[in-house]
Amino acid sequence: MPKYFFSIQAADEEIRAEYAAELKEDAAAPAYACEIIRDRMRSLGQADLNSQVTVRDETRPRVFSIPFLAACA
């Protein structure tokens, strides 16, 4: 299974939080990214909605990004 890396980036700086997960395919990565965002917002109480999670895998520097605001919708 391919390994995916999820990093959180705030509007003005990159937060040094990175998560790794082995997922079956690209299609599973958006749900995992949204789960990270929801968990982070619950633990922080309030997060910068301009932040985003960038997803990459072992072969590509960036697969896609999801803004926190989109994950909250």
pTM for this predicted structure = 0.77
Find residue 54's DSSP bridge partners.
7, 65
- Does the pLDDT value for residue 5 go beyond 90? yes
DSSP class of residue 28?
A: G
What is the mean predicted confidence (pLDDT) over 16-27? 84
Give the domain range for residue 55: 3-72
Specify the pLDDT at position 51: 82
Q: Which residues pair with 4 in a beta bridge?
A: 21, 57
Q: Report the number of distinct structural domains present in the chain.
A: 1
8 A C-beta contact, residue 10 and residue 68: no
Looking up tokens 């619950």 gives: 42
Task: Give residues with Cβ within 8 angstroms of 70, minimum separation 6.
Answer: none
